[in-house]
Amino acid sequence: MSKIKWFTDSRFGMFIHWGIYAIPAIGEWAYAQKEWKENEYQGFAKVFDPQKFDPGRLAKLASAAGMKYVVFTTRHHDGFCMFDSHYTDYKVTNTPYGKDIVRMVVEAFRKEGLKIGFYHSLPDWTHPGYADPETPEYMQKKTVRTPTAQEYADFKELLFNHIEQLMTGYGKIDLLFCDYTSKYKDGVDYFDRERILEMVYRHQPDIIVNDRLAYFKDDVCDFDYYTPEICVMNAPPVVKGKEVVWESCTTMNDHWGYCAGDNNYKDAHSLISALMGCVSQSGNMLLNVGPDADGCIGMTAEERLREIGKWFDIHADAVYGCSASKHQAPYGCCYTQNGNKLYCFLLITPVGDIILPELKGKIESIKLMRTQTEVQIIDFWGYELLKSDEERIRPAGAKAGDVLEITLREC
C-alpha cells in the first residue's frame, strides 16, 4: 500500500497553531507586527502557563469532528520551541508551565487514533543566521543584516538538529509540514533541503513531507503533497505535468494563531462546503484552531467542530476514501466519488428539482443520506426541456448541507 493512502483516505485534519504568541493575542506573526522592546516578546516565555490546556479533550473533539490527523506547530517563525529542545533554552519546558507540549499533543492524539503531523518553521526570526526583508527586523526598522558564514552555518545546524530531534524522540511521525521559503530565498537552497529530507526519510521511512522546503522548483525532488492555503482549488493541481496530492489548510476565522479581536468565524456550512470542495477536487482540508494563553480554543471554534461532527455522523461516507468524480456536478452542488457511489453535496438549498448532467440511464438508486429516503427520478414532468443525457430528480425536503448518495450502475 502506498504510504500516502491514509492521507488521501482521511481527507480531514486539525491544524493547531500555538506558541507564546497566544499571550499578545494578535496572531502568530505577533513578533513581526509591532516593535517590541529588547527581549519584551521573548519575555512571554517567562509567563507562559496554559493551565487549562487539555490535549485529551482537544483530541476527542477533533476525532468527533471527523478529523483523522493533527498537525501541530512545534516551532513557529518566532523561534520558540513547543517541545523540549536539546539545542536552545527558548522552549516550553523553561516556562512556568514546564511541560513538553508537543509530547502531550502526540500522546493524546495518538490515543484517539489520529495520525501525527509536525509543523516546523524553516525561518527563525530570532536567529542571527536568518535575515531577509520578510523578517521582523526589516519590517520594523527597514534594515537587513548579512549573517556571517558562521551564523548561517549555525542556523542551518539548529534547524537540522531540531527536525532530527522531532523525528527521533516522539515515536512514529506520520507527516512533516515545513513552512516556508521566503520569496527572497526562492532561487537558493537556504535550508539544505536534501540533507534535511535524507535525514527525515531515514528516521521515518513512511512519513509524508509537504512542498514548502522549496516551491515548485524544477530542480528539486518531488514532495509527497502540496499545500495551497485558505482556498479551494478548481481542479486538482498539476506539477511537472502530473496531478499531485494536495491539502488546503484553512483558518476558521481570519488568523492561525490566537487573535483576541478576531470573531470573524465562518459558519459550519461554509466550512463543510470548503471541505467537500477540496474532496471534490481530490484534496484534503486541514482546519485550524488557535488555543489562547490558557490553552483553550474558545467557544465558537468548539461549537463549529461539534456542528461539523454532527454532519459527519451522517455523511462520513461522502468524505473518507472519496475523490473527484469525472461527472459534471449540477447547479449548486459538488460531487465526491468512491467506486460506484457518487455523493452530491448541496451547497445551496435546491429551489425544487435538481437536474443531473451526464447521468441519464446510469443511476441505480438515489437516497437522501439525512433521512435515508429514496429520491425520485422525475420522468413525468418537465423532462421535455432536458438534454438527452440529463436526469431530473426531486429530493423532497433536501436543504443546503445535505448529501444525495447516488448509486451508479457502473463507476
CB 230 within 8 A of CB 247: no
**Closer residue to ligand GLC (CB): 229 or 302:** 229
Q: Which of 48, 69, 80, 180 binds ligand GLC (CB under 6 A)?
A: 180
C-alpha–C-alpha distance, residues 322 and 238, integer Å? 19
If we measure between CA atoms, which residue out of 248, 134, 126 comes closest to residue 183?
134
226 binds ligand GLC (CB under 6 A): no
Q: Tell me the closest approach of the beta carbon of residue 169 to ligand GLC, in angstroms.
A: 23
Q: Closest distance between ligand GLC and the C-beta of residue 230, in Å? A: 8
Phi then psi for residue 344, to 5 deg, are -105, 105
| CB-based contact 392:382 (threshold 8 Å) | yes
CB of residue 175 vs ligand GLC: minimum separation in angstroms?
13
Smallest gap from Cβ 119 to ligand GLC, in A, equals 7
Which residues within the stretch 185-224 sit at the binding site for ligand GLC (CB under 6 A)?
Answer: none
CB of 73 to ligand GLC, least distance (A): 7
Establish if 258 lies at the interface with ligand GLC (CB under 6 A).
no
Tell me which residues in 324-353 interact with ligand GLC (CB under 6 A).
Answer: none
- Interaction of residue 278 with ligand GLC, rule CB under 6 A: no
Nearer to ligand GLC, 16 or 369 (CB): 16
**Strands 115-121 and 69-75, how do they pair?**
parallel
We find the least distance from the C-beta atom of residue 404 to ligand GLC, in angstroms, to be 33
In the bound state, the residue with its beta carbon closest to ligand GLC is 180
- CA gap 295, 55 in Å, rounded: 9
Residue with cell 502506498: 2
Nearer to ligand GLC, 101 or 322 (CB): 101
Q: Is 292 in the site for ligand GLC (CB under 6 A)?
A: no
Closest approach, Cβ 181 to ligand GLC, in A, equals 10
Whether residue 117 contacts residue 100, with contact meaning beta carbons closer than 8 Å, is answered with no
Is residue 134 within the footprint of ligand GLC (CB under 6 A)?
A: no
Let me know: does 118 contact 82? Beta carbons within 8 Å.
no
Nearer to ligand GLC, 163 or 404 (CB): 163
Q: Are strands 376-377 and 391-394 parallel, antiparallel or unpaired?
A: antiparallel
> What is the nearest approach in angstroms of ligand GLC to the Cβ of residue 178?
10
229 binds ligand GLC (CB under 6 A): yes
Is the Cβ of residue 28 or residue 402 nearer to ligand GLC in the bound state? 28
CB-nearer residue toward ligand GLC: 33 or 376: 33
Residues near 393 by beta carbon (within 8 Å), at least 6 away in sequence: 353, 354, 355, 356, 366, 375, 376, 377, 378, 404
Q: How many residues bind ligand GLC (CB under 6 A)?
A: 8
The closest alpha carbon to 232, from 274, 288, 267, belongs to 274
Whether residue 129 contacts residue 192, with contact meaning beta carbons closer than 8 Å, is answered with: no
Contacts (CB under 6 A) with ligand GLC, residues 84-123: none
SS3 87: coil
Cell digits for 257? 494563531
- Closer by beta carbon to ligand GLC, 249 or else 297: 249
User: Peptide bond preceding 226: is omega within 30 degrees of 0, i.e. cis?
Assistant: no
Query: Which one of residues 208, 249, 275, 278 is an interface residue with ligand GLC (CB under 6 A)?
Result: 249
Per CB under 6 A, the list member of 225, 256, 311, 345 interacting with ligand GLC is 256
What is the residue type of 229?
Answer: E
Give the residue, chosen from 78, 112, 124, 179, that forms a contact with ligand GLC under the rule CB under 6 A: 179
Among residue numbers 5 through 34, which ones bind ligand GLC (CB under 6 A)? 17, 28-29
Q: How far is the CB of 41 from ligand GLC (least distance, A)?
A: 15
Per DSSP, helices labelled H in 204-360 are: 268-279, 299-315
Percent helix, percent strand, percent coil in the chain, to nearest 5: 30, 20, 50
Q: Select from 108, 119, 112 the least CA-distant residue to 55.
A: 108
- Rounded to a whole number of angstroms, the minimum distance from the CB of residue 157 to ligand GLC is 23
Q: At what angle do helices 101-111 and 55-64 cross, to 10 degrees?
A: 40
**Interface positions with ligand GLC (CB under 6 A):** 17, 28-29, 179-180, 229, 249, 256
